[in-house]
Amino acid sequence: MRPDHDSRPTLRSPDLRWGIERRLEFIELRLFWEGRLNRSDLTRVFGISAMQASADLRRYDAMAPGNARYDRNAKCFVRSTQFAPLLVHPDSASYLHQLSALAEGVLSASESWLRQVPSYDKVSFPCRLVDAHILRAVLDAVNTRCALNLHYQSMAHPEPRWCWIAPHALGLDGAHWYARAFCHRDQRFKDFRLSRVVAVGDVRPDDTLPSSDRAWHTPVTLRIGVHPALSAGPQRVIARDYDMENGERAFTTRLALLPYLLKRLSLDVGSDVRAPQDQPIVLLNREEIASLMGGVDHG
C-alpha cells in the first residue's frame, strides 16, 4: 500500500543521507535515459547489498508512485508511460558529458551510470601534456597563497626563462589549462599555460591579493545573434542550436577568459571576414566588447 501524498518522503528530508539521495537520483536518471533498471544496477554502481537496493527501489516508488512498474518477463523495473522526473532535472549535457568521459578514458564503463551505451566516438586532438608534479606545485601555491618560481617557455622568447608568479586560479579555454597568476617580473596578472612550464623551483610567501586581479573578477556579458545574411531556414536552426530567444542569446564570462571564448566561437574577427555559413553567429555588442579587450593580458 502506497502512502498518501503528504506522507511521502522528499529528496531533502533530513533523514535521507547523501548516499541515499545519490542512489535515488540514479534510479530516476536510469529510468529517464534507458527506461529500465534492476537491483543489480544499484549493487554494481554503488557497492550496496541486494537488500539495500530493494529498499531504495521501494523508497523511490513511495516518493514517485507511478513512475516505474515491475516487468515480470524482463525481471526489471521499466519506465511507465506517465513517468515524470521528481528528483532531478535530466538534461542532454549530463548524458553527453558521460559519453565524452568514456570516450576520453577518464571514466571506465564500470564507473559510468550508463549501461546501454550507444556506439560513440569523438574527434581526438593532440594532448597538451601537463606534468603532474608541476600541477601539484601550482595547486600548492594557490592553496597556500605563495609565489612559485617557474621555468617557463613563452612564445615571445626563444628560450625558457625563470619568473616568479603568484597563482590564484586555474582556467580552461576548451583545450588548454592555464594558471592565472600575478607575474612579479612584469608586475601584472597574466595567464601561464601549464603545458609550457618546463620546471618549478623555489617557493616563497606572497602577499598578492587575488581580489586585485580585476580581469578575473570582472563579469562580461556577450550578446550573440544569427548572421543576418543567412536565409530563413538556416537562421531558424542556428537560433535553436544556440537556444536563442527572438534571435538573440546573452551569456556571461570573466573578462580574463573573454579572448578565449571569442576565438572559440569564431567571434574574434568581424562578421565580414568569413562566409555566413562558416560563421553563422555574430557578436551584437562588438563595440562594447572591443572596449573591454584592451585591459586583458594573456602573457
Quick: pLDDT tens for 107-149: 887 777 777 788 888 777 766 789 999 999 999 999 999 999 9
CA distance 288 to 222: 9
What dihedral do alpha carbons 288, 291, 293, 296 form, nearest 10°?
-130
Q: Is the pLDDT of residue 42 over 60?
A: yes
Mean pLDDT of the chain: 88
CATH 1.10.10.10 spans which residues of the chain?
5-90
The residues, any chain, with a CB within 8 Å of residue 180's CB and separated by 6 or more, are 167, 168, 169, 170, 171, 189, 190, 191, 213, 216, 256
Residues 86-103, mean pLDDT to the nearest whole number = 86
At 17, is the pLDDT very low, low, confident or very high (cuts 50, 70, 90)? Answer: low
What is 73-119 written as a DSSP string? TTTEEEE-TT---SS----HHHHHHHHHHHHHTSS-TTT-S-SSPPP
CA distance 28 to 19: 15
The residues, any chain, with a CB within 8 Å of residue 272's CB and separated by 6 or more, are none
pLDDT of residue 94: 84
- The angle at the Cα of 40, spanning 36 to 45, to the nearest 5 degrees, equals 95
Residues 48-61, mean pLDDT to the nearest whole number = 94
pLDDT of residue 273: 80
**Who wins on pLDDT, 138 or 103?**
138
Strands of the sheet with 36-37, listed across from one edge: 36-37, 76-79, 68-71
Q: Is the pLDDT of residue 8 over 50?
A: no
pLDDT in tens, 144-192: 999 999 999 999 999 999 999 999 999 999 889 999 999 999 999 999 9
Neighbour-count burial of 33, counting CB atoms closer than 10 A to its CB (0-12 exposed, 13-18 middle, 19+ buried): middle
pLDDT of residue 5: 38
What CATH class is the domain 132-212?
mainly beta
Length of the chain: 299
Neighbour-count burial of 168, counting CB atoms closer than 10 A to its CB (0-12 exposed, 13-18 middle, 19+ buried): buried
pTM for this entry: 0.74
Q: Which grid cell sits at 196?
A: 609550457
Residues 44-73, mean pLDDT to the nearest whole number = 93
Backbone φ and ψ for 101, nearest 5 degrees, come out as -65, -35
Q: Determine the residue type at 7.
A: S
Looking at the domain 5-90, which fold is it?
Arc Repressor Mutant, subunit A (1.10.10)
Q: Is the pLDDT of residue 15 over 80?
A: no
CATH 2.30.30 spans which residues of the chain?
132-212
pLDDT in tens, 198-221: 999 999 999 999 999 999 999 999
Q: Is the pLDDT of residue 11 over 60?
A: no
Strands of the sheet with 219-226, listed across from one edge: 248-254, 219-226, 281-283
pLDDT of residue 63: 93
pLDDT of residue 295: 57
